[in-house]
Amino acid sequence: MSSPFAARLDALRRVLAEAGVDGLYLPRTDEQGNEYLPPSAERVAWLSGFTGSFAVLVVLPGAAAVFSDGRYVEQLEREVDAALFERHEVNATAPARWLEERLRPGVRLGVDPFLLGRAEYERLAKLARGKGAELVFLAPNPVDRIWTDRPPPPSSPAFSHPERFAGESSLSKRRRIAGELRTRGADHLFVAAADCVAWLLNVRGRDVPFNPLCLSYALLDADGRCRWFVDPRKLGPDVVLEEGIAVEPVERLPDALDELGLARCAVLVDPAEVHLGFLDRLERAGARLIEADDPIRKAKAIKNPVEIEGAIAAQRRDGAAVVRFLAWLEREGLAAGIDELRAADRLELERAKDPLFEGPSFPTISAHGPNAALPHYRPSPATNRRLEPGTVYLVDSGAQYRDATTDITRTVALGEVAREIKERFTLVLKGHIAVAEAVFPKGTRGGQIDCLARLPLWSRGLDYDHGTGHGVGSFLCVHEGPQRIAKTTPGAELEPGMIVSDEPGYYRPGAYGIRTENLLLVEARGKPEGGERELLGFRTLTLCPIDRTLLVPALLTAEERLWLDGYHARVFAELAPLLDDPADRAWLERACAPLR
Widest pairwise Cα distance in the chain: 74
For residue 593, name the pLDDT band (cuts at 50, 70, 90).
very high
Domain borders along the chain are 2-146, 159-301, 305-591
- State yes or no: pLDDT of 38 exceeds 60: yes
Q: What percent of the chain has pLDDT over 70?
A: 100
Predicted pLDDT at 516: 98
Asked if residue 8 lies in contact with residue 46, where contact means CB atoms within 8 angstroms, the answer is yes
Whole-angstrom Cα distance, residue 478 to residue 471? 7
What DSSP designation does 487 have?
S
Q: What is the 3-state secondary structure (H, E, C) of 301-313?
A: HCCCHHHHHHHHH
E strand segments, 415-533: 439-441, 469-471, 480-485, 499-502, 505-508, 512-515, 518-526
Region 162-181 average pLDDT: 98
* End-to-end Cα separation, the chain, in angstroms: 55
Q: Is 2-146's fold the same as 305-591's?
A: no
Alpha-carbon distance values, 84 to 59, 63, 79, 568 (Å): 10, 8, 12, 52
Return the CATH architecture of domain 159-301: 3-Layer(aba) Sandwich (3.40)
pLDDT digits (tens, 9 = 90+) for 232-291: 999 999 999 999 999 999 999 999 999 999 999 999 999 999 999 999 999 999 999 999
Identify the CATH number of the domain defined by range 2-146: 3.40.350.10
Q: Is 2's pLDDT higher than 80?
A: no
Least confident of 73-77, 88-92, 312-316, 489-493: 73-77
Q: Looking at domain 305-591, which CATH architecture does it have?
A: Alpha-Beta Complex (3.90)
Neighbours of 285 (CB within 10 A): 18
- 536 has pLDDT over 80: yes
- What is the structure's pLDDT at 1? 45
